[in-house]
Structure 1
Amino acid sequence: MKIPFFPPDLFEDDRQVLLDVVREVALDPEQRFILGRRTGHFETVIRDAVGAADAVACSSGTSALTLVLRAMGVGPGDEVVVPAYGCAPLGAAPALLGATPVFADIDPATMVVDPVEVEKAVTGRTKVVMPAHVFSVMADMPTLRVIADGAGARLLEDSAVAQGGVLGGRAAGTWGDAGVYSFVQVKTFGMPGEGGMVVTGDPEIGRAVRMLRNHGQDGRTRFLHHRIGVNSRFDEVMAAFQLRRLPGLPARLERRARIGEYYTERFTGLPGVAPPPPGRDGRCFYVYSLLAEHRDALHDHLAARGIGSHVYYRSPLPRQAAFRTTGRDWPAAERACSRQLAIPIHPHLTDPQVEHIADEVCRFARS
């Protein structure tokens, strides 16, 4: 039984849908391949689904992060507090604007940024607090909201992995002044291409991002540029594709959640292996990550039995050459880098495959 970490047939069931929308967009008399009416409709649907004031589709989640920081006025001399453990854009987005990413350590059990460490990292130069949801756990957004407000800083919620997650009755992405989703292939609402979305309760942020993504144009008059912008426009084919697939998202999320719950039930109490916390509040089930004392041996054990697994971040961001930071330590992030291992959780898994994966993790831990 071969079980890849991510399935090669992610969009096989949607093959005809994709072919249909390519033809539809190509033959539309409007002849708009970017930022047309389908993109506008997609933005409206996402905005209304999460209860935001605005939603702005961008070319990627990374681009969306950078544009929101620009819309918030981040620049040289400013600091942005980010997790020490996570994906490179957390540090790169503020750095590309001339600001300084200030790295805060994570909670050792959940791997999301620790609010206590965030509060320690805040200074008079802090412009934005930017937590990120990680794997299957959302950050403690209520506490981070209080910290950001107390510091007079904006709160930017990196929800790239968390679309569909809900914490305290509020959708992921809506706890901050703005939030960001990613639609890269393997995300919970992924698509066969790059793309992202900004959601915000602040209409001014929405207007700024909408202008910045299109070379500083306001969308009404072409070649009239109100500020320096970039090309971060969204594709009409992908907008049409996502609109067609959106009705099936709840079922796919539910399947992921059920697999995650089964894993957690099987793995709780295992020696040397720690699953994510149980429950559904504040969960997103993009990736199911274990913390294993003998991570590399577990990876090899699973591989020998045809099960794909994945190590995400082998070094904390502040230890990497691009962001090298000295003068302090991030012990929880360092430990996560040596213990984290993700196992398959995608909705294409069959029940026998899920049971096989769980059986092998348990067999390894008990041996």
Structure 2
Amino acid sequence: MTLPFFPPDLFDDEQDTLLDIVESIGLAPEQKFILGAHTTRFEEVVRDSVGAADAIACGSGTAALTLVLRAMGVGPGDEVVVPAFGCAPLAAAPAMLGAVPVFADVDPWTTVADPAEVDRLISPRTKVVMPAHMFSVMADMPAIRAIADAAGVRLLEDAAVAQGGVLGGTPAGLWGDAGVYSFVQVKTFGMPGEGGMVVTADPELGAMVRMLRNHGQDGRTRFVHHHIGYNSRFDEIMAAFQLHRFATLPHRLERRARIGEYYTERFGELAGCGVLAPPPAVDGRCYYVYSLLVERRDALRDHLAGQGIGSHVYYPAALPRQPAFAPYARGGAWPAAEAAARRTLAIPIYPHLTDAQVEHIADAVCRFAKES
């Protein structure tokens, strides 16, 4: 594959730096490999970059969701409203706490949670509303924030794919009572390992998450457990590596945005040919993945492969249609989510694509749409 969807060389230019960090931390007198000075500094840098009151590094984006839900008091008998289309942790995190994920259908074009559906599903048992940003589009957070406030429920923003995105002047992650980021390899601020971050404007909520990630300890007195917690601590090597890379994150985000905007401009005329690009916009965009809605998805995937271009199908089944979450489906219908699951196809958007490669990808998509 000339242009793979998942590039194998994301960190090639930084291998020497990573090895130097491993050696430095491995030979340091303090022998501190988790939750040390590098993690503290990394949390401070992320916190200050978005203007949060607290930022808590933890083991993964999935763990971040679970920790915040626990900190919000979610448990058996509660309901958490989540999108019907997206990554499994959206439903798994509340379910693992004994709560019920309640699936809201999505907007048929943007594939993020439809605020009207979220509002319709609020019940006396709703404890948290948990929208997720999807692919390159942030959810309608002003509308969902208003719905949560009117209902008197907490708002947890799954911004795992959206670090660096901004909507209406507010950074992704800060629209809710808390937000989460993910640093898994292919994310916009991915790293060669697992990791996540909780950001919040609520210091008390942040303090609870901080304790829960480390077996319920408060960080001052070891072996005093104030709550039953988890082991979701952050790796010092990865913290140091992310600190090294943070200064260049804006450049990588800008490059992704330029590629995404070029795609959207090129594909704007293809809607009548069965290939629908995301809505054109600048505000509320987060180019983690660039995904098209395609009537003949498998045919386009084969066509691109024939041109040496990798593509990827995210979430080939709506969440309530997954076997694990069938008990929560309750015989409902989610037509937009199910249509998205049939039609989404993501194309390469990583920042070290050259202009010529981006043009080649766009040309291949356009040829398929116009000639098929």
Corresponding residue for residue 350 of structure 1: 354
Corresponding residue for residue 298 of structure 1: 300
**CA–CA separation in structure 1 for the residues paired with 2:6 and 2:282:** 22
Task: Count how many residue pairs are aligned between Structure 1 and Structure 2.
Answer: 367
Conserved? CA contact 1:295–1:339, under 8 Å: yes
- How far residue 24 of structure 1 moved from its aligned partner, in angstroms, is 1.4
- How far residue 222 of structure 1 moved from its aligned partner, in angstroms, is 1.0
Conserved? CA contact 1:184–1:190, under 8 Å: yes
- How far residue 328 of structure 1 moved from its aligned partner, in angstroms, is 1.5
Question: How much identity, in percent, do the aligned residues show?
Answer: 75
**CA–CA separation in structure 2 for the residues paired with 1:148 and 1:365:** 41
**CA–CA separation in structure 2 for the residues paired with 1:227 and 1:339:** 44
Corresponding residue for residue 61 of structure 1: 61
Corresponding residue for residue 156 of structure 2: 156
**CA–CA separation in structure 1 for the residues paired with 2:86 and 2:225:** 35
**CA–CA separation in structure 1 for the residues paired with 2:151 and 2:126:** 8
Measured against aligned partners, the alpha-carbon deviations of 1:78-131 in whole angstroms (never above 9, x if no partner) come to 000000000000000000000000000000000000000000111010000000
1:32 equivalent to 2:49? Answer no
Measured against aligned partners, the alpha-carbon deviations of 1:294-347 in whole angstroms (never above 9, x if no partner) come to 111000100111100000011100011111113210000011011100000001
Measured against aligned partners, the alpha-carbon deviations of 1:23-44 in whole angstroms (never above 9, x if no partner) come to 1111222221000011000001
Conserved? CA contact 1:7–1:348, under 8 Å: no
**CA–CA separation in structure 2 for the residues paired with 1:115 and 1:194:** 31
- How far residue 280 of structure 1 moved from its aligned partner, in angstroms, is 1.6
Where 2:184 maps in the other structure, the secondary structure is coil
TM-score, normalising length: structure 2: 0.98
One-letter amino acid matched to 1:358 = A
**CA–CA separation in structure 1 for the residues paired with 2:226 and 2:250:** 40
Q: Cα RMSD between the aligned structures?
A: 0.7
- How far residue 17 of structure 1 moved from its aligned partner, in angstroms, is 1.1
**CA–CA separation in structure 2 for the residues paired with 1:317 and 1:80:** 14
Conserved? CA contact 1:136–1:285, under 8 Å: yes
1:336 equivalent to 2:340? Answer yes
Corresponding residue for residue 51 of structure 1: 51
Where 1:4 maps in the other structure, the secondary structure is coil
Corresponding residue for residue 315 of structure 1: 317
TM-score, normalising length: structure 1: 0.99
- How far residue 351 of structure 1 moved from its aligned partner, in angstroms, is 1.0
**CA–CA separation in structure 2 for the residues paired with 1:330 and 1:97:** 24
**CA–CA separation in structure 1 for the residues paired with 2:148 and 2:281:** 27
One-letter amino acid matched to 2:112 = V
One-letter amino acid matched to 2:350 = H
1:219 equivalent to 2:219? Answer yes
Where 2:238 maps in the other structure, the secondary structure is helix
Corresponding residue for residue 169 of structure 2: 169
Corresponding residue for residue 76 of structure 1: 76
Conserved? CA contact 1:252–1:347, under 8 Å: yes
Corresponding residue for residue 2 of structure 1: 2
**CA–CA separation in structure 1 for the residues paired with 2:177 and 2:64:** 14
Hey, which bits of structure 1, 4+ residues long, moved more than 3 A?
none
Gaps of 5+ in 2: none
Where 2:269 maps in the other structure, the secondary structure is coil
